[in-house]
Amino acid sequence: MSKMDAKTARVMIWEQLRKVARPDSRFSWDFAEFITDYEGSDKCAENLCKEDIYKNAEVVFITPDNNLEVLREQVIRDKKIMLITTYGIRRGVFLLRPEWVPEGKEELASTLDGIQRFWQYRSLKQIAEEIGHIDLLVTGASAITPSGIRFGKGHGYFDLEWAMFYTKGVVDVNTPVVAVGHDCQVVDVEVDVRPYDTAIDYIVTPTQVIRTRNEFPKPTGGVLWSMLAPGMKDDIPPLQELWMDNFCK
Q: Convert the pLDDT of each residue in 134-148 to its tens digit.
A: 999 999 999 999 999
Q: Could you tell me if residue 1 is inside a domain?
A: no
Report pLDDT for 25: 77
**Which residue type, as a one-letter code, is found at position 42?**
D
Rounded CA-CA distance 209/47 in Å is 7
Distance of CA 82 to the CA centre of its chain: 12
Rounded CA-CA distance 144/137 in Å is 16
Report pLDDT for 1: 43
Instruction: Give the domain extent around 230.
Output: 6-247
Q: Is 0.85 surpassed by the pTM of this model? A: yes
Q: Reply yes or no on whether the pLDDT at 106 is more than 50.
A: yes
Rounded CA-CA distance 72/63 in Å is 9
Report pLDDT for 110: 97
Q: Is 107 exposed, middle or buried (0-12, 13-18, 19+ CB in 10 A)?
A: middle
Report pLDDT for 185: 95
Q: Could you tell me if residue 197 is inside a domain?
A: yes
Residue 165: which CATH number? 3.40.50.10420
Report pLDDT for 213: 95
Number of domains forming the structure of the chain? 1
